[in-house]
């Protein structure tokens, strides 16, 4: 079955850029699904960040849109998140997830990776 | 944005008890609602989609109901392995939004 695995630095300096990658195994990223990023922090709970499909079309949460870029690499079967100008409020567990075809719920999810913003 | 409000924020029940969690949307979302289970230290797992459809492999003691703005998740007979936090998520409008979670504890 499809599995997702996040990777990237666990510590980012304030005002820097957070960069994460989600590797997809057990299935092709080039199908009909959309691929999402969701984060979880104690203060804001679960927050949808944005998503991308195989052709590179994206949709972002307006609250983060000015700072977020999601990209896809079909040849490597992975997609990525970049969040710029980070602050302590961006400290969270970041999950990648597959959005099911023709619906807006998530299954499966990656295991998550903790990113801390601190100097 | 559509606000999702869950209640209660936590519930403590005994093994075998019936547990019900409610989720209210700030505007109508038809049946575009999902429920997730998150065990400590793990990622959320899809339990219920389209308000009442059970995800493959999920025990039948879990059920969902509702439409419009009011929804519920019921565990018919609580088991020890159901210790977790449960989240609802509206799937009708962007940005997709989640409830704040309900923590289920075992007495």
Three-class secondary structure assignment of B30-71: CCCEEEEEECCCCCCEEEEECCCEECCCCCCCEEEEEECCEE
The verdict on a CB contact (< 8 Å) between B55 and A112 is no
Owner of token pair 């990777």:
A7
Contacts of B40 in chain A (CB under 8 A): none
Q: How many CB atoms lie within 10 A of CB A72?
A: 22
SS3 readout for chain A: CCEEEEECCCEECCCCCEEEEEEEECCCCCCCCEEEEEEEECCCEEEEEEEECCCCCEEECCCCCCCEEEEEECCCCEEEEEECCCCHHHCEEEEEEEECCCCCCEEEECCCEEEEECC
The fraction of chain B above a pLDDT of 70, given in percent, is: 100
Q: How many CB atoms lie within 10 A of CB B67?
A: 15
pLDDT of residue B32: 97
Weakest-pLDDT range from A42-51, A61-70, B18-27, B93-102: A42-51
pLDDT of residue A101: 80
Owner of token pair 């567990």:
A93
Contacts of A112 in chain B (CB under 8 A): 43
Q: Which of B70, B86, B74 is nearest to B29 (CA)?
A: B70
C-alpha to C-alpha distance for A66 and A82, rounded to whole angstroms: 11
Contacts of B43 in chain A (CB under 8 A): 95, 108-112
Of B34, B42, B97, the CB nearest to A105: B34
C-alpha to C-alpha distance for B34 and B20, rounded to whole angstroms: 15
Say if A57 is an interface residue toward chain B (CB within 8 Å).
Answer: no
Interface test with B, best of A51, A105, A109, A112 (most B CBs within 10 A): A105
Residue A44 has pLDDT above 80, yes or no: no
Contacts of A107 in chain B (CB under 8 A): 45-46, 55
C-alpha to C-alpha distance for A115 and B66, rounded to whole angstroms: 36
CA distance B23 to chain A (A): 15
Owner of token pair 């439409």:
B67
Chain centroid to CA A19: 9
Owner of token pair 């419009």:
B68
Average pLDDT over residues A46-63: 97
pLDDT of residue A32: 85
The verdict on a CB contact (< 8 Å) between B45 and A109 is yes
Report the residue of chain A nearest B51, measured CA to CA: A105
Q: What are the pLDDT digits (tens) for B40-83?
A: 999 999 999 999 999 999 999 999 999 999 999 999 999 999 99
Say if A106 is an interface residue toward chain B (CB within 8 Å).
Answer: yes
């Amino acid at each position: 079955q499809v599995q997702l695995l996040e990777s990237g630095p666990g510590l980012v300096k304030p005002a820097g850029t957070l960069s994460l990658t989600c590797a997809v195994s057990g299935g092709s990223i080039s199908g009909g699904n959309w691929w999402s990023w969701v984060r979880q922090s104690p203060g804001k709970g679960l927050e949808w960040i944005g998503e991308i499909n195989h052709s590179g079309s994206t949709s972002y949460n307006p609250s983060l849109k000015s700072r977020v870029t999601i990209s896809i690499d079909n040849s490597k079967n992975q997609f990525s998140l970049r969040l710029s100008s980070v602050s302590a409020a961006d400290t969270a567990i970041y999950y990648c997830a597959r959005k099911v075809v023709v619906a807006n719920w998530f299954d499966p999810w990656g295991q998550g990776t903790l990113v801390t913003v601190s100097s | 944005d559509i606000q999702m409000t869950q209640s209660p924020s936590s519930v403590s029940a005994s093994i075998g008890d019936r547990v019900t969690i409610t989720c209210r949307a700030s505007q109508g979302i038809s049946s575009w609602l999902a429920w997730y289970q998150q065990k400590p230290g793990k990622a959320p797992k899809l339990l219920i989609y389209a308000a009442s459809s059970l995800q493959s492999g999920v025990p039948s003691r879990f059920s969902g109901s509702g439409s419009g703005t009011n929804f519920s998740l019921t565990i018919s007979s609580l088991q020890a392995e159901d210790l977790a936090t449960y989240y609802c998520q509206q799937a009708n409008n962007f940005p997709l939004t989640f409830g704040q979670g309900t923590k289920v504890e075992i007495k």
